[in-house]
């Protein structure tokens, strides 16, 4: 490509966010061509935005851990635990029929308690990865198992039921094509953006992921920042759990285990470096939307079972890794 416009295009392709934006437009075009009149509709987009919040928030959780040089494989289990506690708490208070107070108050109390649980789970991860020096993959794999176990003990392996409608009806609130839980996702994304790019904690997290040894030598308290990062991850997981129980009126210990791979896919798609030190929130948000668009598009072909999607996601993950590698490595000088 020659000429000024050509060079600019090539340079822009180096920016991961730009790449995804291009992809998004491409998917939109393909969708409207393949299913004319049905893809670019209000109803369709409403459905897209309704579904993506749960794992979009989980992706944000995995994102901060990845940036710090680690990963969080326990987010789904934390989310489930929180969903179970939330649902059980509400069904035993508002839903029991003996409750005479304001439902909103109870919901608020339940949310706060669940936030605390999420933070505690995150703190466990942060402690393991930071102070106890366990590799993040092993630590979160183990803690995920432990948290799954706790959920199983609470529910005795069953799904919970009886979540009161005062709570679940909140899922139906909509502003134009955006449902309530999308706003939750949006708020989370905005807050994460501010944290990661505008606070010193965010900058430090990037640096720890980039070179944790140099971070210590520069006076950064790695263990403390890692603790915070994983606690944020746990908190976000709890938010995702609340949304999930609100939308589905039930919860179980091993719901959504495929979300983990999906969250990692979103992170990689969004330009996050799996080794740490690089990534941005905008990429995550765009990647979430694009992947949901693709999922919805596949959904429209009713004869394709949901399992074909697993093949697509797996293949997409590998392809994105390779594409990112090729584009980013063209400019690396080996010394």
Partner 1 sequence: MNEKILSVENISKSFGGVQALDNVSMEIRAGEIHCLSGENGSGKSTIIKIISGYYKPDSGKICIDGKEYSEMSPSESINHGIQVIYQDFSLFPNLSVMENLSINAEVARGSKIINYKRMRETAQQAVKKINLKVDMKAKVADLSVADKQMIAIARALVHEAKVIIMDEATASLTRNEVNSLFRVIHQLKEEGVAIVFVSHKLDEVFEISDSITIFRNGRNVISCKASEMDEERFSFYMTGREIQAKQEKPLVGDPARIMMETRNLTVEGAFEDVSMQLYKGEILGIAGQLGSGRTELAMALFGMATIKDGEILVEGKTVNISSVTKAKQLGIGYVPEDRLTEGLFLEQSLIQNVAVTHLGKLSSKFGFYNKRVAAEETQHWIDTLSISPDNRNNLAQKLSGGNQQKVVLAKWLACNPAILILNGPTVGVDIGAKQDIYDLLNKYASEGMSVIIASDDILEIKKICNRVIIMKGGRINAVLCGEEITEKALVEASV
Partner 2 sequence: MISIKKIFNRTETYVILIALLFGIAVETVSGQFFSNTGMVNLARASMVYLVFGLTEMLSLTCAGPDVSYPALASLSAFITAKIFGGDSYGGSIFIPFLVCMAIGAVGGMINGFIMAKFNFPSLIVTLGTSSIFSGIMYGPLKASNTVLHGTMAQFGSAKLFSVTNPGSGLKADLPLQFLIVIILYLIVFFLLRYTIFGRGLYAIGSDKVAAERSGFKTAQITFLSYTLGGAIAAIGGFMYTCNVGAISPSDLMGGEMIIIAACTLGGIRPGAGLGGLFNVIIGVVLLIMIQNNLLMLGIPLYYQDVFTGAIILIGTVVSVNSLRSHSGIKRLG
Residues that bind partner 2 (CB under 8 A): 71, 128, 132-135, 137-139, 141-150, 152-153, 156-157, 211-217, 222, 257-258, 260-261, 264-265, 268, 274-275, 305, 307-315, 317-318, 321-322, 325
Q: Which is nearer to partner 2, 95 or 276 (CB)?
A: 276
277 forms part of the interface with partner 1 (CB under 8 A): yes
7 forms part of the interface with partner 1 (CB under 8 A): no
Q: How far apart are the first and last CA of the chain?
A: 28
Q: Which of 12, 96, 145, 199 is the binder for partner 1 (CB under 8 A)?
A: 199
User: 193 to each of 270, 279, 282, 335, how far by Cα in Å?
Assistant: 14, 11, 8, 34
- How would DSSP label each residue in 157-170? TSPB----HHHHGG
Q: How far is the CB of 307 from partner 1 (least distance, A)?
A: 38
Local structure of 70: helix, strand or coil: coil
Place of tokens 């609470």: 154
Question: Among 15-23, 42-50, 193-201, 281-289, which window interacts with partner 1 (CB under 8 A)?
Answer: 193-201
Phi/psi of residue 84, nearest 5 degrees: -65, -45
User: 188 to each of 7, 18, 104, 117, 236, how far by Cα in Å?
Assistant: 36, 22, 21, 18, 8
Q: How far is the CB of 113 from partner 2 (least distance, A)?
A: 21
> Length of the chain in residues, anyone?
335
Q: How far is the CB of 51 from partner 1 (least distance, A)?
A: 34
Tell me which of partner 2, partner 1, none is bound by residue 311, counting a contact when its beta carbon lies within the kind-specific cut-off of 5 to 8 angstroms: partner 2
Q: Are 60 and 229 in contact (CB under 8 A)?
A: no
Q: Which residues pair with 175 in a beta bridge?
A: 178
Q: Which is nearer to partner 2, 33 or 311 (CB)?
A: 311
Q: Which tokens go with 224?
A: 């403390």
198 forms part of the interface with partner 1 (CB under 8 A): yes
236 forms part of the interface with partner 1 (CB under 8 A): no
335 forms part of the interface with partner 1 (CB under 8 A): yes
Q: Is 173 left (phi over 0), alpha (psi -120 to 50) or beta?
A: beta
What does the per-residue mask of binding to partner 1 show for 204-223, with x meaning CB under 8 A?
x-xx--xx-xxxxxxxxx--
Our CA dihedral for 281, 282, 285, 286, rounded to 10 degrees, sits at: -150
334 forms part of the interface with partner 1 (CB under 8 A): yes
- Among residues 207, 6, 235, the alpha carbon closest in space to that of 113 is found at 235
Q: How far is the CB of 132 from partner 2 (least distance, A)?
A: 5
Q: How far is the CB of 28 from partner 2 (least distance, A)?
A: 25
Binding site for partner 1 (CB under 8 A): 197-200, 202-204, 206-207, 210-211, 213-221, 277-278, 329-335
């Amino acid at each position: 490509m020659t000429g000024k416009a050509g060079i600019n295009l090539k340079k822009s392709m180096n920016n991961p966010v730009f790449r995804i934006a291009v992809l998004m437009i491409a998917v939109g075009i393909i969708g409207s061509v393949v299913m004319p009149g049905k893809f670019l509709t209000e109803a369709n987009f409403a459905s897209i935005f309704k579904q993506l919040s749960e794992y979009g928030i989980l992706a944000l959780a995995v994102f901060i851990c990845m940036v710090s040089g680690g990963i969080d494989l326990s987010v789904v289990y934390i989310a489930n635990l929180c969903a179970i506690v939330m649902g059980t708490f509400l069904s035993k208070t508002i839903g029991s029929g003996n409750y005479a107070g304001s439902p909103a108050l109870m919901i608020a109390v339940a949310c706060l308690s669940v936030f605390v649980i999420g933070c505690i789970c995150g703190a466990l991860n942060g402690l393991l990865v930071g102070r106890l020096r366990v590799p993040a993959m092993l630590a979160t794999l183990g803690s995920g198992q432990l948290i799954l176990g706790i959920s199983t003990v609470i529910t005795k392996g069953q799904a919970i039921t009886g979540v009161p409608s005062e709570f679940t009806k909140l899922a139906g609130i909509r502003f134009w094509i955006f449902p309530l839980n999308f706003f939750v996702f949006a708020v989370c994304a905005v807050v994460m953006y501010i944290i990661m790019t505008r606070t010193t904690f965010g900058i430090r997290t990037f640096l720890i992921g980039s070179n944790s040894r140099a971070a210590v030598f520069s006076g950064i308290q790695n263990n403390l920042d890692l603790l915070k990062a994983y606690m944020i991850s746990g908190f976000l997981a709890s938010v995702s759990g609340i949304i999930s129980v609100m939308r589905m009126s039930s919860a179980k210990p091993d719901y959504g285990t495929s979300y983990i791979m999906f969250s990692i896919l979103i992170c990689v798609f969004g330009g996050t470096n799996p080794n740490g030190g690089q990534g941005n929130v905008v990429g995550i948000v765009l990647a979430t939307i694009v992947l949901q668009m693709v999922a919805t598009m596949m959904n429209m072909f009713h004869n394709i079972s949901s399992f074909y999607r697993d093949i697509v996601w797996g293949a997409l993950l590998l392809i994105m890794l390779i594409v990112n590698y090729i584009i980013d490595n063209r400019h690396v000088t080996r010394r």
